[in-house]
Amino acid sequence: MDRKYICYCGLYCENCSVKAKIGPASKVLYDEMKKAGFEEVINFIPGGEGFWPFLKNMAENGMCVSCIEGGGDPECAIRKCAKEKKAEVCALCENYPCGTIAKFLEQNPGYKKDNDLLREKGMEAWGNLQDERKAKGFTYQDLKNPPKD
């Protein structure tokens, strides 16, 4: 597990569908469009002048880093609270779960299970789970949309 992808709220960016799925797809799309000559004509397509630099940046520089590393919403209440309390992550804060993260966890029960694991078993066990998930192609979208029986 790469600690730079840990978020205050207990998510692990390497398992975010944006980073795990969209990032690699943007590289493929950019490379294919470049091979096909879109770079020369993209400005003639409505919206192309903004799309091309956006796609190029995603393909060349990746998607993002965690909120702890400076990515994400700087106004996030969870981030602000954790930084104020000097908590590495919310689950390791002495006040966990507090009112700041409660709604987030209530809306995302799978994330609560992850945070509870982190709190109960520690960073190493939680990190091992994240690595296992990444190896299997898991993304957090899987928690939001579990397979139907």
Per-residue pLDDT for 148 more than 60?
no
Least confident of 26-35, 58-67, 87-96: 58-67
Q: What is the mean pLDDT of residues 50-78?
A: 86
Q: 67, 64, 89: which is closest to 100 by C-alpha? A: 89
**86-87-88-94 Cα dihedral, nearest 10 degrees:** 150
Q: What is the mean pLDDT of residues 99-104?
A: 92
pTM over 0.85: no
Q: 15, 14, 8: which is closest to 101 by C-alpha? A: 8
Neighbouring C-alpha atoms within 13 Å toward the C-beta of 77: 7
Phi and psi (nearest 5°) for 136? -90, 0
Query: Beta-strand (E) ranges in the chain?
Result: none
Would you call 85 exposed, middle or buried from its count of C-beta atoms within 10 A (0-12, 13-18, 19+)?
middle
Residue 146's pLDDT is: 54
